[in-house]
């Protein structure tokens, strides 16, 4: 029999307000095994913990029940306390009488009654607890970064800087991501390429970093410290190590009318292409959907002009298996499709563009070489209307927009408006806003400069309708402050489209068993205190895959994720979770039911010799659980037909005892 | 400002609209084809009903200027449905006046061959309460 | 409030990663649900052995609800699929034995769905209360 001590916490008035804590302590005194029972204002405080330690010594306690807040909150705290008092930390059970009792019930009598029952269940469970010791597993000292935008680049550089090897997997032919497509960056207006491309070169030259471009992760197995990842290197039909990126093939390729993704389809590229001049790796890629050689077996011009002999039409997709200790997700974002927003005439007129398209239009390396010209007729626009919150904060139209604020649009729209007025002072610039949200260092000052110094006309209101008429766009909008409906003849309309997580994120999350919210953003382990970790151990989050973010924020989160990875990789061994499955050899009949349901492949079989009751020996096939691989889900315990498999810490008898205590 | 709790709750009840959802973007008024005819605009209807300032709305011509085209309902990003608010105020005004409404039987006599069908439909929406 | 008002006894099994956290969130947001619901924490919905449910009914529980992560979101990849399959079989068997389908439920509640947790519990308690006391599998020897 255990000697159990019960400690009931008041949590100030959080618990004591609706639960009579003294009555709970008193009622639990008479439970089997309980030798000591008390209550205290704050059990988690130093004084409360000391009280537990003293009680353990004075009453020779072998088990502890703390009736307090959720075990998700302070289970670890009280386990440490038990360990400090010389008890096995797993001899502690928590009865959750705050989140699941005092906070949900208003009536003292019901609250107290329920708290007593929850306490009884915890006592019943702790009576059956056994000391547990966690296993240890080694750490593979290499990290994987999925996504090669500014988030992935910064994370990889920081991890490599600490001396660990990093691999970046990027699905596009080059790293750089969205930032490479931008023109200037707020609030300082330095050019994106000028600050990004040196970092890309750093990545390429860093000996610790490998880039798998034009590649994707297809399978993830294992667990923190020991991930086995399969990376698919898509065939680019160019030998990466030989190609010098000279570009001779691009000039000669006859297929010149392929929409250029990098410029969002506003100009064309060839079938063999390098996305942009500063691409890393600077290696050509053949688009298999456009190349006549790959489609019809005729042409082969690029292979003739390639002096290095890098073209290989027979190249196949390659699968690489690699081990990693930590995985960082940096899959980033995309603007949402504007096709469903008929009122803005996006699909009717070429002169209605998204902000990212505007970014390419004003970029010196863009389709118009940096001159702001209308996509339809190449004329200089004299009246430009910017519309904010297109698809953002859109609750009613879930099938076209997003419920959340996309966060970055206010600032980049201010930037676009300001730069337009700066370069082309003859242009009228209107910005229609619902709210201007510019929290951030020097952000509001930036927006005010657009208004005060550059004369951008900010109008509180929304655009209701855009109608193409002749070479003009008729914009009908409301000015809520003047209480007028405005009709503007615009030359160009720029929509600040909402942003959404990249489509590749959802399947990736399933592979990683990392959780996501309803918008497909990755959820963090704790929204305030663990913002860069996923709830899945060993998986970290960097950049906009976790929520909309601008560049300064992305870079700081990337650095934070890197430091968490470094902290993990710096360890030689990880102590695991001792609550793992274990099989009773004597009862196991070797049927393989458990191995079939184990998601981690933690169960293997061994032939073992057993002494039989008639004193003969017999060789039997029995299950063995690898405690380093087992994550303790318990699927096998239910699948086992003979009841041989059990889960430490959540044993059949323990849960049964809890059921009994509740149903008594 | 009038703050007539009863009027406000009654109009919100009739309309079935949650005016608190409005984020004051003004897209309803931006899209309204009858804007220039109205003294109070769709976004003002929502805002004034929310704040209980209903008497001016009841006394305004704007009630009958709304075409009931429902463009504002279609465009509103928050699903507030301003036209339903306008409709509810109109309904309230009509009900207060007593039995001065049209029934379906009265219609054929006043239908003109050239009347566009849409006009008929919106007239029905407005006057057959 | 009436003194002898019927109060059902409901056992809820919540997976540690989603539903238990969802229940905590319901508490954090002070969302009310009846005290008749008593939660047992399990690592995953797939840890819930049909035995536990039978035991609960045997000991006089009036309803049993199992909450797990949404399909595809299981912390252990596929545990909730196992739970779904097992419980479908168990619940129809219990129905055959005379424990109405309304007394058993499998629900997906994520860690972000505190409101859904409270709403589910309110609904379930109401449903079980309407059915009244469970007598079918109850072992009268367990009664004091």
The alpha-carbon gap from B88 to the nearest alpha carbon of chain A, in Å, equals: 20
Contacts of B32 in chain A (CB under 8 A): 464, 485
Nearest to A135 by CA among A649, A633, A659, A629: A629
Backbone angles phi, psi at A190, to 5 degrees: -80, 155
Cis peptide before A281 (omega within 30 of 0): yes
Name the residue among A99, A107, A659 with its Cβ closest to that of C23: A99
Indicate if the pLDDT at residue C74 is higher than 50. yes
Residue A621: how many CB atoms within 10 A of its CB?
13
What's the complex ipTM?
Answer: 0.94
Strand, coil or helix: what is C137?
A: coil
Indicate if the pLDDT at residue B3 is higher than 60. no
Chain A neighbours, 3+ Cβ pairs < 8 A: B, C
Nearest to A249 by CA among A289, A299, A305, A293: A305
Distant-in-sequence, close-in-space partners of A335: CB < 8 Å, separation ≥ 6: A354, A355, A356, A497, A498, A499, A500
The DSSP code sequence of A89-155 is GGGEEEEE-IIIIITT---HHHHHHHHHHHHHHHHHHHTT-------EEE---EEEEE--SHHHHHH
Q: What is the pLDDT of residue A136?
A: 83
Strand, coil or helix: what is A267?
A: coil
Q: What is the pLDDT of residue A397?
A: 67
CA B120 distance to own-chain centroid = 17
Cis peptide before A214 (omega within 30 of 0): no
Backbone angles phi, psi at A163, to 5 degrees: 100, 10
Indicate if the pLDDT at residue C3 is higher than 70. no
Residue pairs spanning A and C at CB distance below 8 A: 149
The DSSP code sequence of B55-118 is HHHHTSTHHHH-----HHHHH-TT---HHHHHHHHHHHHHHHH-S----GGGHHHH--TTS-HH
Domains A4-126 and A334-500 fall in the same CATH topology: no
pLDDT category at B101 given cuts 50, 70, 90 is low
* DSSP secondary structure code for residue A336 in this structure: P
Indicate if the pLDDT at residue C84 is higher than 90. yes
Cβ-based interface (< 8 Å): residues of B facing A: 21, 23-32, 35-36, 41, 43-44, 71, 75-80
Q: pTM of this prediction?
A: 0.74
Structural domain boundaries of chain A?
A: 4-126, 142-234+317-332+502-569, 248-305, 334-500, 581-648
Contacts of A227 in chain C (CB under 8 A): none
Calculated CA dihedral for residues A261, A262, A266, A270, nearest 10 degrees: -70
Residue A353 and residue A492 in contact, taking contact as beta carbons nearer than 8 Å = yes
Beta-sheet strands, E only, within A10-112: 34-40, 63-68, 92-96
Is CATH 3.40.50 the classification given to domain A4-126? yes
Name the residue among B21, B25, B44 with its Cβ closest to that of A462: B25
pLDDT category at B2 given cuts 50, 70, 90 is very low
Indicate if the pLDDT at residue B115 is higher than 80. no
Listed in sequence order, the DSSP H helices in A515-664 are 551-569, 593-597, 635-639, 652-663
CB of A23 less than 8 A from some CB of B: no
**Residue range A581-648, CATH number:** 3.30.70.3270
Residue B74: how many CB atoms within 10 A of its CB?
15
Indicate if the pLDDT at residue C2 is higher than 50. no
> pLDDT digits over A353-405, tens only?
999 999 999 999 999 999 999 999 999 999 999 999 999 999 876 678 999 99
Q: Is the dihedral of CA A533, A534, A538, A541 positive or negative?
A: negative
Nearest to C8 by CA among C87, C136, C124, C137: C124
Dist. CA A510–CA A220, nearest whole Å: 10
The alpha-carbon gap from B99 to the nearest alpha carbon of chain A, in Å, equals: 35
Dist. CA B75–CA B121, nearest whole Å: 21
Residue A226 and residue A137 in contact, taking contact as beta carbons nearer than 8 Å = yes
Backbone angles phi, psi at A465, to 5 degrees: -160, 140
Answer yes or no: is C42 within a domain. Answer: yes
Pairing of strands A383-390, A573-575: unpaired
Q: What is the mean pLDDT of residues B22-42?
A: 94
Contacts of A343 in chain B (CB under 8 A): 31, 75
Contacts of B25 in chain A (CB under 8 A): 389, 434, 461-462
Answer yes or no: is C5 within a domain. Answer: no
Superfamily name with CATH number, domain A142-234+317-332+502-569: FAD/NAD(P)-binding domain (3.50.50.60)
Backbone angles phi, psi at B32, to 5 degrees: -70, 120
pLDDT category at C52 given cuts 50, 70, 90 is very high
Q: How far is CA A147 from each of CA A151, A167, A267, A582, A641, rounded to the nearest angstrom?
A: 8, 10, 25, 39, 44
Name the residue among A395, A461, A465 with its Cβ closest to that of B78: A395
- Helix B82-97 to helix B5-15 angle (10° resolution) is 120
> pLDDT digits over A156-207, tens only?
999 999 999 999 999 999 999 999 999 999 999 999 999 999 999 999 999 9
| Contact call for B30 and A485, based on CB within 8 A | yes
Residue A75 and residue A106 in contact, taking contact as beta carbons nearer than 8 Å = no
| Contact call for C59 and A659, based on CB within 8 A | yes
| Contact call for A100 and C11, based on CB within 8 A | no
- CATH number for C71: 3.40.50
Q: What is the pLDDT of residue C75?
A: 82
Give me the residues paired with residue C68 across strands. Answer: C108
Instruction: State the residue range of the domain holding C20.
Output: 10-136
Burial class of A365 by CB neighbour count within 10 A (0 to 12, 13 to 18, 19+): middle
Q: What domain count does chain C have? A: 1
Dist. CA A534–CA A514, nearest whole Å: 6
* DSSP secondary structure code for residue A466 in this structure: E
Backbone angles phi, psi at A221, to 5 degrees: -125, 170
Dist. CA A222–CA A70, nearest whole Å: 29
Q: What is the mean pLDDT of residues B10-39?
A: 93
Question: Any idea how long chain C is?
Answer: 144
Which tops the pLDDT comparison, A599 or C15?
C15
Strand, coil or helix: what is C14?
A: strand
Pairing of strands A272-273, A285-286: antiparallel
Q: What is the pLDDT of residue B108?
A: 76
- Give the residues of chain A that fall short of pLDDT 50: none
- Chain A residue at shortest CA distance from C62: A663
**Residue range B5-99, CATH number:** 1.10.1060.10
Nearest to A383 by CA among A345, A337, A417: A417
Answer yes or no: is C143 within a domain. Answer: no
Nearest to A633 by CA among A585, A579, A587: A579
Ranking A408-412, B65-69, C2-6 by mean pLDDT, the lowest is C2-6
Answer yes or no: is C3 within a domain. Answer: no
Q: Which residues of C63-82 are buried (b: 16+ CB within 10 A; e: fewer)?
A: bbbbbbbbebbbbbbbbbbb
| A436, A462, A486: best to mutate for the B interface, most B CBs within 10 A | A462
Answer yes or no: is C144 within a domain. Answer: no
Phi-psi region of B121 (alpha: psi -120 to 50; beta: other; left: phi over 0): alpha
Chain C neighbours, 3+ Cβ pairs < 8 A: A
Ranking A390-404, C7-21, C26-40 by mean pLDDT, the lowest is A390-404
Dist. CA B57–CA C143, nearest whole Å: 67
Architecture in CATH for domain A334-500: 3-Layer(bba) Sandwich (3.50)
| Contact call for A634 and C44, based on CB within 8 A | yes
- Chain B residue at shortest CA distance from A486: B30
- Helix A71-84 to helix C19-28 angle (10° resolution) is 100
Strand, coil or helix: what is A331?
A: coil
HSE-up of residue B93 (Cα within 13 Å, Cβ side): 19
Q: What is the pLDDT of residue A627?
A: 84
> pLDDT digits over A603-623, tens only?
889 999 888 888 899 899 999
Nearest to A223 by CA among A600, A635, A648: A600
Nearest to A111 by CA among A95, A96, A93, A97: A97
| Contact call for A483 and B24, based on CB within 8 A | no
| Contact call for C39 and A96, based on CB within 8 A | yes
- Chain A residue at shortest CA distance from C12: A659
Q: Which residues of A268-300 are buried (b: 16+ CB within 10 A; e: fewer)?
A: ebbbbbbbbebbbbbbbbbbeebbebbeeeebe
The alpha-carbon gap from A72 to the nearest alpha carbon of chain B, in Å, equals: 34
| Contact call for C38 and A660, based on CB within 8 A | no
């Amino acid at each position: 029999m255990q000697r159990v001590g019960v400690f009931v916490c008041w949590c100030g008035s959080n618990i004591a307000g609706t639960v009579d804590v003294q009555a709970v302590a008193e009622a639990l005194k008479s439970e089997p095994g309980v030798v000591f029972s008390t209550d205290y204002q704050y059990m988690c405080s130093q004084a409360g913990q000391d009280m537990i330690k003293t009680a353990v010594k004075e009453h020779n306690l072998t088990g502890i029940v703390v009736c307090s807040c959720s075990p998700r909150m302070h289970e670890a705290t009280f386990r440490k306390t038990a360990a400090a008092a010389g008890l096995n930390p797993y001899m502690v059970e928590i009865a959750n009488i705050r989140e699941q009792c005092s906070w949900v019930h208003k009536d003292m009598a019901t609250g107290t009654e329920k708290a007593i029952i929850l306490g009884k269940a915890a006592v019943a469970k702790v009576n059956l607890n056994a000391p547990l010791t966690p296993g240890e597993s080694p750490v593979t000292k290499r990290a994987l970064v999925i996504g090669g935008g500014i988030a992935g680049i910064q994370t990889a550089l920081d991890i490599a800087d600490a001396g660990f090897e990093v691999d970046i997997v990027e699905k596009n032919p080059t790293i750089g991501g969205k930032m490479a497509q931008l023109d200037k960056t707020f609030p300082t207006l330095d050019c994106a390429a000028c600050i990004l491309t040196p970092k890309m070169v750093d990545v390429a030259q860093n000996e610790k970093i490998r880039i798998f471009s034009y590649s994707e992760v297809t399978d993830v197995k294992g667990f923190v410290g020991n991930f086995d990842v399969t990376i698919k290197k898509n065939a680019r039909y160019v030998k990466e190590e030989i190609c010098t990126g000279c570009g001779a093939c691009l000039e000669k390729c006859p297929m010149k009318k392929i929409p250029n993704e990098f410029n969002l389809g506003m100009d064309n590229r060839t079938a063999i292409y390098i996305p942009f001049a500063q691409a890393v790796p600077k290696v050509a890629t053949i688009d298999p959907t456009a190349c006549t050689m790959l489609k019809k077996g005729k042409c082969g011009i690029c292979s003739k002009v390639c002096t290095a002999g890098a073209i290989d039409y027979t190249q196949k997709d390659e699968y690489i298996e690699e081990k990693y200790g930590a995985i960082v997700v940096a899959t980033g974002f995309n603007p949402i499709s504007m096709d469903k927003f008929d009122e803005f005439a996006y699909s009717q007129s070429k002169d209605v563009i998204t902000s990212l398209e505007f970014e390419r239009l004003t970029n010196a390396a863009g389709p118009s070489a940096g001159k702001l010209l209308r996509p339809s007729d190449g004329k200089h626009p004299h009246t430009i209307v910017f519309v904010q919150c297109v698809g953002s904060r859109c609750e009613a139209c879930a099938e076209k927009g997003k419920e959340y604020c996309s966060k970055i649009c206010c600032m980049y729209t201010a930037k676009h408006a300001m730069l337009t007025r700066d370069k082309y002072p003859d242009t009228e610039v209107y910005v229609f806003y619902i709210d201007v949200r510019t929290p951030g260092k020097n952000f509001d000052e930036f927006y005010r400069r657009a208004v005060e110094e550059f004369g951008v006309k900010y109008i509180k209101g929304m655009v209701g309708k855009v109608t193409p008429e002749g070479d003009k766009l008729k914009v009908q909008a409301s000015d809520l402050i003047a209480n007028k409906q405005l009709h503007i003849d615009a030359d160009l309309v720029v929509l600040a489209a909402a942003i959404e997580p990249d489509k590749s994120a959802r399947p990736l999350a399933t592979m990683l068993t990392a959780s996501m919210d309803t918008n497909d953003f990755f959820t963090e382990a704790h929204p305030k205190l663990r913002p860069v970790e996923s709830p899945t151990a060993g998986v970290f989050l960097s950049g906009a895959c976790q929520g909309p973010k601008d560049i300064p924020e992305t870079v700081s989160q990337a650095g934070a994720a890197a430091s968490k990875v470094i902290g993990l990789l710096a360890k030689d061994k990880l102590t695991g979770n001792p609550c793992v499955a274990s099989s009773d050899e004597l009862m196991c009949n070797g049927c393989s039911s458990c191995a079939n349901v184990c998601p981690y492949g933690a169960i293997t079989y061994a032939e073992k010799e057993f002494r039989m009751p008639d004193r003969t020996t017999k060789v039997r096939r029995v299950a063995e659980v690898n405690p380093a691989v087992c994550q303790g889900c318990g699927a096998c315990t239910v699948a086992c037909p003979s009841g041989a498999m059990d889960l430490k810490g959540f044993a059949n008898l323990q849960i049964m005892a809890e059921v009994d205590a509740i149903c008594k | 400002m009038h703050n007539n709790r009863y009027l406000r709750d009654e109009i919100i009840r009739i309309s079935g609209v949650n005016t608190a959802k409005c984020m004051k973007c003004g897209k309803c008024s931006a899209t309204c084809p009858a804007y220039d005819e109205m003294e109070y605009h769709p976004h003002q209807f929502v805002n004034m009903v929310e704040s209980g300032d209903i008497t001016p709305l009841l006394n305004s011509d704007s009630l009958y200027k709304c075409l009931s085209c429902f463009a504002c309902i279609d465009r509103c990003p928050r699903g507030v449905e301003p036209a339903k608010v306008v409709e509810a105020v109109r309904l309230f005004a009509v009900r207060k006046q007593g039995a001065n409404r049209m029934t379906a039987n009265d219609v054929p006599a006043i239908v003109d061959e050239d009347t566009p069908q849409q006009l008929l439909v919106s007239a029905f929406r407005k006057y057959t309460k | 409030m009436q003194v002898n008002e019927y109060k059902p006894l409901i056992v809820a099994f919540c997976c540690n990663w989603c539903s238990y956290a969802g229940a905590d969130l319901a508490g954090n947001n002070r969302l009310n649900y009846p005290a008749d619901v008593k939660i047992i924490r399990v690592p995953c919905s797939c840890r819930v052995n049909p035995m536990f449910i039978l035991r609960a009914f045997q000991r006089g529980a009036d309803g049993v609800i199992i909450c797990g992560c949404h399909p595809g979101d299981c912390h252990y990849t596929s545990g909730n699929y196992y739970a779904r399959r097992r419980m479908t079989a168990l619940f129809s068997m219990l129905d055959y034995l005379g424990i109405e389908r309304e007394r058993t439920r499998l629900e997906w509640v994520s860690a972000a769905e505190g409101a859904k947790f409270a709403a589910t519990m309110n609904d379930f308690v109401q449903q079980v209360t309407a059915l009244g006391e469970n007598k079918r599998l109850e072992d009268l020897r367990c009664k004091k």
